[in-house]
A = this chain, B = another copy of it.
Amino acid sequence: MPKKRTLPYVLLGLINDKQHLSGYQMVQEFKHEISDFWTASHSQIYPELQRMTDDGWITTVTPDTQPDANRNQTYYALTSTGHDVLLDWLREPLTQKDTDLFALKLFFIKTSDSPLLKPLLAQQLTLSQNRVTYLKSRKETVFQSQTDIDSHYGHFLTLSRGIERESNYVLWLQHLLETL
């Protein structure tokens, strides 16, 4: 099975938020807002927009506002198919791999009452909890004596850091789920 492409869904999410968006504006978004979760250069974006148009996920539109400014930009909007595709993608369960998809999907959820929010948080909570368990067991397996620690100190630190980071993640998710 080929690896799932992510870029088209990111573009769908971006357009969905702004109603209509030009390729250039998407490039700017990648330079600022979502650069933490995903990056893409204009050389990727423009051909991808063409493919998505061909697939009927998006269409070119001429926005009513902005009568003559930036006339040379091509604006895109979601089709109903595109909207469905985006929702389906957001609903797909998270897996142990592609860990970064959680933050990316979360980014695209607009309101706190979205039915997508709680499942997403719950999924990530489970993944993070499993990860803490795994890292702790690895730490105990690999570092049974002080000698093991002293001779592989960097490895010891990375494992310790991983446990701390993921535990902090679990706490944040739990707190958030409680307050919702």
Q: What residues of chain A have their CB less than 8 Å away from a CB belonging to chain B?
A: 17, 33, 36-37, 103, 105-112, 114, 117, 142, 150-155, 157-158, 161-162, 164-165, 168-169, 172, 176
Contacts and interface: CB of A to CB of B under 8 A. Distances in A.
Given A111-B153, A112-B153, A158-B37, A168 B164 contact: yes
- How many copies of this chain does one complex carry? 2
A106 B114 CA distance: 41
A103 B161 contact: yes
B158 A107 contact: yes
Given A165-B165, A168-B165, A157 B106 contact: yes
| A interface majority secondary structure | helix
A111 B158 contact: no
A157 B172 CA distance: 10
A156 to B, nearest CB: 9
Nearest to A112: B153
A6 B105 CA distance: 29
B176 A106 contact: no
Contact of A153 (B109, B161, B172): B109
Contacts of A111: 150-151, 153
Contact of A154 (B117, B153, B169): B117
A151 B114 CA distance: 11
A165 B170 CA distance: 11
A30 to B, nearest CB: 14
